[in-house]
A and B are shown apart, each in its own frame.
Chain A
């Protein structure tokens, strides 16, 4: 604590720190966790997604993103854009309405909440009287029609949310205006459908759940037509010309009703159960879209045969004799169809189907035969298989980048060539200054390569390690390989597949050398694969080697999983990264650390039992070292995941409790709205009481050599440094364990010309035991100028200065509790920072980052970016180990967020805020990737489709005032200040807008 104060004494340093460090959470990548509502504005061409946690996210053209959080932590149930406006209305599950708008401020748009409103019924009315079931924003953009559970339709003026009581269409009013015969039945109950007539704004379709549909004349307050269905109504829609109504029902049927105010229709024109004759589930939503060709598109959700396919999440598209039931792997939240916007156009001519499923967004091209999916440029489902690890590589050389993209394009042939149809807004962000790759390892044995350069995290290429192994499932057996005459005509779509064939396939560590294209990947069952990028398809045998990490240790018996069985014989690999060597650790414990040195052609790997070094040039094991403590039986018990810490399990159960508070019902909370939170409060209180009955206590004990998992290898590091004496430097391998031990091996790597002839030799030279015995999480060697040694091949590619080999090198050992600097080659203690003793926080992740000054063009410093178990991000200076800055970043309870954090080489980072979303943050003043975009209702579109030229939307939005570049800096400051404000209080953040703007620092400098 005092250290922080002390380091603050130097004003020059303080100024410099302001030029170097700054904390921002810039953008969320991936797919929103627990989406609960979908909205689309045909005029803005912007998509909105609401989540159960109260977030609303807007997406337009790639790079155009907005995010807002409701003050209340309630689920967003429905989202409606006001026609032609830059405004949207959200309905939360607490029955409140919120008006949001996109406002242009200094050249960029911001999303902000304007006002909120809760519908109040007459005194004494049941809560259900005002429980909103459906909202219709009228095309005049001045009123909202609110359908309720009581059957009344309330009218509310926007903005201002003033209830126009005299215009309320109560069920009684409707009943009185109905002809006698229709009045006989109990036809009302809740309002299920509210649709404005496509041509006549004075006519509104009102559908009631008991099956009655009326067309209400707003001016004359009378029923123009009414239709009575024998089935419960789920939804209804107009045909584009207003001459036909299509309704869908709970028995899986849909009906067409011709609209003719003169003749009363008793029976539907046509009624159809698409997946009959056996009982079917409800069709919950239907679209009826006309085309120039004549035959309409019928697109509906649900309706599957109850007994055999009742559990499927399907959306069916029927057109011109073709019918496909798109089968989603997760629940369908909502869907919409993108079609002709101009109301004057005669036909809908739909071109894309947008489906929001629980775990992914799927867009289908309706214009191309076979309705292929369109690859989304954002909203990637990061968790299509659970993420098990991630690895970031900055500044990828163009050559490698292009080869990866080429490899990826082979895999994307099934996608439609259609341009991304949701393209509203303009991204003002400059092009990213460099190419960054984020690699994610997944439970199913795949590694996904993401373009992490800009705001849109885009999948470039997917590598699967599965073909190397024999698994239970036959790879040829695809799920969508269905017979021709299969009924219903199901087709699997989407990439979300949470089921792993074999958990042992899970990827645990990744190491990519961006210069050589070598990739090392290690997994749960002790498998280590070395892969090489190949632009051609190839078929070859993967060489197999076993690394016995126990060596001659007797009396151990591994009780964990078996090792994976490699596929014998040659294996065919598609273009991309192709494995050529498989090292399997014995016992097959999860690989806990991995390092690759592409210049020396060596790969080092470690597990809870020891570590090994493999020469992938000669395909020969150099050595293995057992780090297991003789008394540590637990390490042999099996996979580490089985041994759960008490701490963790308690935290998890607590979190589970909290999560259960979120009402699972999406639309209508059962009973009165006040009941649910109360009940969940009680469970929580109960939980707290239970916790107090058995107080949590923590044992205070120094670590000893006999502790479990001391041999667990946490970190491996290659360095060319002075290990033996100060006159000769040599390649070396460093390993740090969970028990605070550091091993150093001197390596002899033959020169390039004799590389294949002479073996690589290794000899243990040093072993350091830290007396505090905390796990070693990082090892680093600093050169004579106290600069971290460059990466392999970095100097050869002229991307780094060669290290200073004149002055004395320093070894930096980072344990969970302390940072310690030692001299080399003679190990003597030089400096230390005892983080845990001072703050009670422990180092979870440490990485060297280069921080450039935002003021001086070529000034920069190397420091350590540190994440602690409390979720703090700190910068610790090199080489003096002084804490520089500290920012709260992740909630300390968010164990998975902290575990998933990965730093980049330039002071940015990513962590998972949910299984499917990465939050991107930046510690640097210079490197910032955030959205910066403009959405304007009056802006002209370069899209081929003509836009709605008439209508009220023209009134607004000419205020595209200060789009000039000179304003950029002010905007930036404003955004930064808001973002900084966010950091200070998370609570405030939720209510505010966040118009995120993408800026990468070079762009800012141009502005300045």
Chain B
């Protein structure tokens, strides 16, 4: 099942000035069944995470964009500014989760298989080994207070790998404009609570069994050919 992002064009209204249509977003399909990542991540979690949480970010993002569109058209600067946090939360939620689904793969489709090629070499070079990278990401993910993400990214200017965390739904780019996400691990409680309860470290240990290194390598090779 190929991943398709459905995009709908929706014109708000026809204004004399030939006002542009507003592009809204829909929930992308998962490239695997909800239960396909078990036992690392339960089917229940995948279903609620995708159909409820990600969908809610998209719904609220679309709503915020509509309101933003209206405010821009009216020249309502203070509303435009006020909407920025809703756009960051919900738009960030959509961006981050879209990446997350691609970061995961069932074991029989290569989930958990360590990266070969240039990404594997870069990881060994920068962190010493894959295990060292995983230790570092797990430590930072476990230490994150509240809600957020832990990322493996590449600085496309410096051509260097980085491990970063972001709070709430802030995308990786908020930590540096030239950072490109390769892998993101959601450490919001909704990502693991039904299965792992308070034991976030166990979730972090197990998720690596279904991490899709192939996708990460593709992105890396595009940024660092």
**Do chains A and B interact in one complex?**
no
Interface residues of A (CB under 8 A from B): none
Interface residues of B (CB under 8 A from A): none
